[in-house]
Amino acid sequence: MIVLALVLTAAGYVLASLGGRSSSLPANLVPFLLIIGGLLGGAHIAVRRLAPQADALLLPVAALLNGLGYVFIARLDKNLAGLQALWTALGVGAFIATLLFVRRTRDLERFRYTFALLGIGLLLLPLMPVIGRNINGARLWVRVAGITFQPGEMAKITLCIFFASYLVEKRELLSVFTRHVGPLSVPEVRHLGPLVLAWGVSLVIMIAEREIGSSALFFALFVSMLWLATDRNVYLGLGGLLFAAGSIFSYKSFAHVQERVHIWHNPWPVFSGSGYQIVQALFAFAAGGLFGVGLSRGNPGRIPAVATDFIFAAVGEELGLFGAAAIILAFLLIVGTGMRIAMRAEAPFDKMLAAGLTTIIGIQSFIIIGGVSRLVPLTGVTLPFVSYGGSSLISNYVLLALLLRISDEEAGHRQTARLADEGLRAA
């Protein structure tokens, strides 16, 4: 499957070159194949050596998404292509390092409050007066030593580790409902503290950093993990009510939220202004039709920030509905595989962590794909593994490595139990 991902990436790179103005094979095709093959081969060898029993599907699918994303970025912006190649190499390095140093995911459970403080610190880091940067109206970036990165990408992993550890410890307490409101059983008010705290932090992110997507992602992550830990539907209802209250408050209080909603509802009156980006994306989807216009034969460059927030629109134009559906299917495979790993995990912490990490991928993909296609209001999150962005790429490779580590541990436990059972039968 790794070889198949490499072949599809190379084929896309060649087709993008042939569809361009030069209509010739790229001069750097051989170095490109060697670099991509070396990165994917190194990641595959690391998995075989460090997590030999891990699920075999996750890495090839992520590699395919990363490779196709690079093809589109190289086709859209040659300058960004070189940077994305560097970030891919660093992401694969982070992937290997995570597998090397995290030999037991349950060791992470002991540092829950360290991860909590680290996550909160990373979320608030862009608000620092000297290093924080405001880009495109959102204050999500930090610039240190000439390097600009988005610390919230790593914060989602550290907070997921904390949520998993905390909810495993408190799940019995959070599952006991002693109060009744009509026919419904509800938790004690004091037990709602974590939910309200997560809601408050998400509002702070949205208000201070002016970003809806990251705020929604973190709150949805906590509510989803809380529901998975307790199996109580009331938490989904309460989370939905808090989300609705926060949305209404933000809409009435902040002009940038009102603008996002108005553009989502009807971008045509402001086609030449604030609605230009989403309208051009809709034109791109329409031009793509079922099969697309072909790699490098479309005009996705008309869409502002197409290599980051709107790369899915470029896919829709040049690969059509079938190509866009293939990208969605790849994310469904990752989410389905991650949830299968969570279901099979024996340790409660591993189960919660795998479910949380998978939820991050699923929710983030839904938010950005839904925003680009006007299903939900547009936000500034990236499409995992596909969009340009170093912080996103590195954090997602770390996330992938943690899922593979959990999968390897779960397979090892099952194999040990099977051998023990066979030994007892033989005896």
pLDDT digits (tens, 9 = 90+) for 149-208: 888 889 899 999 999 998 888 888 777 766 666 666 666 666 667 777 787 778 777 777
pLDDT at position 72: 93
Whole-angstrom Cα distance, residue 36 to residue 92?
A: 11
The CA distances from residue 345 to 340, 349, 358, 405, in Å, are 9, 9, 14, 11
pLDDT at position 137: 64
- Mean pLDDT score across all residues of the chain: 86
Which of 213-217, 276-280, 329-333 bottoms out in mean pLDDT, i.e. has the lowest?
Answer: 213-217
User: Which residues, including other chains, have CB under 8 Å from residue 44's CB and lie 6 or more apart?
Assistant: 2, 59
Give tens-digit pLDDT for 199-218.
777 877 777 767 777 788 88
> Which one-letter amino acid corresponds to residue 310?
F
Which of 145-154, 292-301, 303-312 bottoms out in mean pLDDT, i.e. has the lowest?
Answer: 145-154
The CA distances from residue 207 to 129, 141, 155, 182, 219, in Å, are 16, 15, 18, 36, 14
pLDDT at position 419: 66
Q: When comparing pLDDT for 245 and 282, which is higher?
A: 282
| Contact (CB, 8 A) for 295 and 76 | no
> Which one-letter amino acid corresponds to residue 313?
A
| 237: Cα separation from own chain's centroid | 24
pLDDT at position 78: 82
| Contact (CB, 8 A) for 360 and 164 | no
Count of domains for the chain? 1
244 Ramachandran zone, left/alpha/beta (phi>0; psi -120 to 50): alpha
The dihedral of CA 31, 33, 39, 44: what is its sign?
negative
> Predicted confidence band at 260 (pLDDT cuts at 50, 70, 90)?
confident
- How many other C-beta atoms can be found within 10 angstroms of the C-beta atom of residue 77? 16
Find tokens 């540092």 and name the residue.
111
The whole-number average pLDDT for the span 321-343 is: 95
148 forms beta bridges with 143
pLDDT at position 180: 63
The whole-number average pLDDT for the span 75-91 is: 89
Residue 302 burial (C-beta neighbours within 10 Å; 0-12, 13-18, 19+): middle
pLDDT at position 214: 78
User: Which residues, including other chains, have CB under 8 Å from residue 1's CB and lie 6 or more apart?
Assistant: 56, 57, 60
pLDDT at position 65: 96
> Predicted confidence band at 8 (pLDDT cuts at 50, 70, 90)?
very high
pLDDT at position 385: 94
pTM for this predicted structure: 0.92
First to last CA, the chain: 40
Element (H, E) at 181: strand 179-181
Residue 143 predicted with pLDDT over 90: no
Find tokens 């610190």 and name the residue.
121
Sheet of strand 138-144, all strands in order from the earlier edge strand to the far edge: 132-135, 138-144, 147-149
From 39, 50, 76, 37, select the one nearest 306 (Cα to Cα): 76
> Predicted confidence band at 124 (pLDDT cuts at 50, 70, 90)?
confident
pLDDT at position 222: 87
Give tens-digit pLDDT for 12-61.
888 888 876 666 677 677 888 888 889 999 999 999 999 999 999 999 99
Domain housing 98: 2-426
Residue 141 predicted with pLDDT over 90: no
Element (H, E) at 140: strand 138-144
pLDDT at position 407: 94
pLDDT at position 187: 66
pLDDT at position 129: 79
| Token digits of residue 99 | 């597998």
The dihedral of CA 225, 389, 154, 404: what is its sign?
positive
